[in-house]
Structure 1
Amino acid sequence: MAGIYIHIPFCKQKCSYCDFHFSTDIRYVDRMIRALLKEISERREFLGGLPIETIYFGGGTPSLISAGYISELLDAIKRENTIEEQVELTLEANPEDLSESNLSHLKKLGFNRLSIGIQSFDDKALQAMNRIHDAKQAESAVKRAQHIGFDNISVDLIYGLPEIDMESFKKEVEQFIQLGVQHISAYALTIEPKTLFAHLLDKGQLKLPKEEEVIGQFDYLVRALENAGFEQYEVSNFSLSGLESRHNSSYWSGKNYMGLGPSAHSYDGHKRYWNVSNNFTYMAALEKGELMMEDEAIDSMTRYNEYVLTRSRTKWGLDLRYMKNELGVDLLNEFSVELEKYRGTYSILDEHLILNSKGLILADGFASDLFLSD
């Protein structure tokens, strides 16, 4: 089994916190679609005939382009690959793009999962983030999607935002729960270089909550979502039973995937690949029948470290048998000193080391302490 990711590198405007690869110049959308179609054809052998179980349109803002363009891309993917009958087909979308007409088109194209970028229900916070939608539009978009028949909807939530105290955050969490969606992805605000928030912070014009306040918000979020029937299956991801993101879970499971579009990454089980992060270079190369892509081989140490980093963040944890037999590391014996530091933050069930809620907050530090080094 394998997955396909399609990067649509266009947005209407730049959010204050975002450093993803995208452009607000939509004049060359058609040219980009032609390049993507060419890449789909050129790389038809990349996954070696593995059946495709997940297809994910990300960005950027995939909901910004027309259903006609999305249909062209889907047809090309289906033509060049074997698609599983129960494929998970996801589209990232912004609330302002989800009209009843657009939702109906997406449903007819076979999309069975939406990931909606709400981020917050505080209108002042949304304005500060330079989001186009407001809280009312966000709620209406979800209701329209549910009315059309989408029953697997994920929404994004950002915590640790400026000017959002705990009481305000609690109200927001309740609003997210009341949406009746099946999945919530929650991310702490990070200040990335060359973003508006980074500029404002440097100028002393952005007031961020203290670290203990951010941790407090996350702790509250975990408890509230668990009480509402959500399971934290990865540090930042919560779902109702059986409705985890299959696409993202495949990354954490080490499955093969192909990334299409500028800046997209791929993995074939042996090497990691990434496309050039420049729209015009990407398009020009494909127009000449070339792929602008770099790659690196995954050595045994990198494979082990990536496994520890990704799997320790999930409810499935570290498979101790797999680590010993396939990765050559007897974790409990070789890292007994490091593991002692985390006593009480994990359990061992059926030969799997699994972090508890306290441990998941420390997941990145936990993983780094278990890394191999030269």
Structure 2
Amino acid sequence: MAGADDMAGRLKILLVGIYDTNTLSLAPQTLKAHAERFGYAREVAISTREFSLFRHGAREIAQAINAEGADVVGLSVYIWNYALILELVPLLRGRVILGGPQLTGIERQLLARFPALEAVVTGEGEQVFVDLVRFFCGEIPLRAVPGITTPLFQNPPPPALDLATLPLMYEAMLEAHPGLNWISFQASRGCPFGCRYCCWGGSRKLRYSPLANVLAELEAILRHDSITSIYFCDSDILLDHERALAILEFIIARKPGLDVRFEFNAEHLTDAILGCIERLPATEINFGLQTVNPKALENIGRRFRREMFEANFAKAAARFAERITLDLIYGLPGDDYAGFKQSMDYALSLGAVRRVLTNPLLVLPGSEFHRNMERYGFVLRGPDSFVVESCASFSREDMEAARRLSFWVAVAYFNTALRDALLASSKRQARPVTDVLLEFVSALPEDLQPRPCPDMVPGAREDYARRNAALGAVIRQFDALVAAFARYDALAAPVLLGYEDRFTEQYHKVRGFISRDEGQAG
């Protein structure tokens, strides 16, 4: 390790991540580890700094960054920290460079807004950062750096990186940051699905890290007892079945109690994969349903093979129904509130799933939807938001109705007794679950009716506090809510017995969020 004398006089580069609590952003760590393999990196001092989206405000972060005395500050920008970084940039001293997946197509817009911004990086950052280091060392001009946009020029991004060239970094990273609870991991890049609202991975061609490297990194992670959860941020870890099995079996052999989260397409779920998940009892299995509306599916570029989906869902439900979650999106072009409601009823008809996660459509920079906003009639919530307020088919009133329905489905699924009573009542009445739920909710007292309802999976940092506050108001009166349902359907009383002991993990997690927010406010 370089001493203070070795660091003196060298140009200082600080790479900053702003993410969740008890974890690390991968981008700053990867850029640093990759660049330091090259000889010219010894001419600069590269360090990283991590901040929590939920614990730190723009002024506090700026004060800490400025105190570092870095000559160059690089910020990794994502949808969750975009608005915060816009607040942060004017407060920073030194040369500031932005990079990250949410900047594609809006580079010049950001440079015009922040004249002090030196450059914006587009595309995968590893090679760009290495060439930036060469520029800072005087080896090459800035115009020779790929993926760079400045007020004077814009260079195309570099070719896709060979992932085999990336160094192993988790052992050193975790030793430098002890006590982390969870960590993100990426075993591949790219996404083959081409959803029009997304630009995940920047390419439809999937590239894999060598399996030996993946297992070596996992070995380093699993040696740390504090790590209780890994999130694989690949587009679909199950696309290569044999590779997925090798990864999951490796984890099971070393830490079978680990919570492993990953994205997948229901079509790729096999009996062997289900067997692995069964041996990872903490692992949630999520089906990304999004919509069953044919027109909306066509517009977003997705397929829904109902028979295959239901066959694989039934296999999963037979083994671990209470570990299954489903995703739905509202605000899709070609959809409306009636269509979203039908998708919700379909999701709720599938059985006693753990919860249904709903979120408003996000139109991300770099996506086809972002390039063709007018074609779909997208209206966003504000100039610095990517959250859809409405589109040509989904009005503002529809969006509010979808948020209200989503809110109350989430509340009902906080407690398995209330959920089961709701499903049983729907079955007895031979009516859609959403009709029964909304009829019940409409008769509740005003103090149990948040207006407007929040998004349940927020699309931006500022939306989390609104969601938690609305949920807190209902959670504090959950006894009254259960009593009201017993009055609504007298036959539900036996199902509701003992509801006090049937709150879900998500309920307790949200209570923790609420306590955190109240503590920070106090």
Q: TM-score, normalised by structure 1?
A: 0.55
Deviates more, 1:178-187 or 1:130-139: 130-139
Instruction: Give the aligned residue type for 1:20.
Output: W
Q: Which of 354, 357, 368 in structure 2 is aligned with 1:182?
A: 354
Q: How many residues align?
A: 250
Q: Which residue is equivalent to 2:267?
A: 96
Q: Offset at 1:228?
A: 5.6
Distance 2:283 2:321 in 1: 6
Distance 2:196 2:283 in 1: 30
How is 1:3-42 mapped onto 2 (pairs within 5 angstroms)? 3-8=182-187, 9-21=189-201, 23-26=203-206, 28-29=207-208, 31-40=209-218
Distance 1:23 1:74 in 2: 29
Matched, 1:53 2:191: no
Do the aligned partners of 1:122 and 1:135 also contact (CA within 8 Å) in 2?
no
Gaps spanning 5+ residues in structure 2: where?
1-178, 379-391, 420-452, 459-470, 472-501
Do the aligned partners of 1:7 and 1:59 also contact (CA within 8 Å) in 2?
yes
How is 1:211-222 mapped onto 2 (pairs within 5 angstroms)? 211-222=396-407
Does the C-alpha gap of structure 1 residues 161 and 168 become closer, same or farther in structure 2, counting only changes over 3 Å?
same
Deviates more, 1:112-121 or 1:63-72: 63-72
Report SS of the residue matched to 2:286.
strand
Instruction: Give the aligned residue type for 1:5.
Output: S
Distance 2:507 2:202 in 1: 24
Distance 1:55 1:121 in 2: 30
Q: Which residue is equivalent to 2:334?
A: 163
Q: Which residue is equivalent to 1:362?
A: none
**Overall identity of the aligned pairs, in %:** 20
Q: Which has the higher helix share?
A: 2
How is 1:79-90 mapped onto 2 (pairs within 5 angstroms)? 83=255, 86-90=257-261
How is 1:1-374 mapped onto 2 (pairs within 5 angstroms)? 2-8=181-187, 9-21=189-201, 23-26=203-206, 28-29=207-208, 31-40=209-218, 49-72=224-247, 75=250, 83=255, 86-108=257-279, 112-149=283-320, 151-180=322-351, 181-203=353-375, 207-227=392-412, 235-236=456-457, 241-244=503-506, 314-320=513-519, 323=520, 331=521
Instruction: Map Cα deviations across residues 312-355 of structure 1 (whole Å, 9 max, x no partner).
Output: xx4445142xx4xxxxxxx45xxxxxxxxxxxxxxxxxxxxxxx
Report SS of the residue matched to 2:233.
strand
Do the aligned partners of 2:258 and 2:282 also contact (CA within 8 Å) in 1?
no
Distance 2:227 2:335 in 1: 42
Superposed CA RMSD: 3.8
Report SS of the residue matched to 1:4.
strand
Distance 1:178 1:67 in 2: 33
Q: TM-score, normalised by structure 2?
A: 0.41
Distance 2:266 2:185 in 1: 20
Gaps spanning 5+ residues in structure 1: where?
254-310, 324-330, 333-374
Does the C-alpha gap of structure 1 residues 192 and 218 become closer, same or farther in structure 2, counting only changes over 3 Å?
same
Instruction: Give the aligned residue type for 2:182.
Output: G
Distance 1:32 1:129 in 2: 32
Report SS of the residue matched to 1:318.
helix
Q: Offset at 1:153?
A: 0.9
Do the aligned partners of 2:236 and 2:265 also contact (CA within 8 Å) in 1?
yes
Does the C-alpha gap of structure 1 residues 227 and 18 become closer, same or farther in structure 2, counting only changes over 3 Å?
same
Instruction: Give the aligned residue type for 1:33.
Output: L
Q: Which has the higher strand share?
A: 1
Q: Offset at 1:146?
A: 1.3
Distance 2:272 2:253 in 1: 24
Mark the structure with the bigger radius of gyration: 2
Distance 1:241 1:198 in 2: 40
Deviates more, 1:140-149 or 1:104-113: 104-113
For CA contacts below 8 A with separation 6 or more, give which structure has more relative contact order. Answer: 1
Distance 2:305 2:273 in 1: 19
Distance 2:350 2:259 in 1: 22
Deviates more, 1:110-119 or 1:197-206: 197-206
Distance 1:204 1:122 in 2: 16
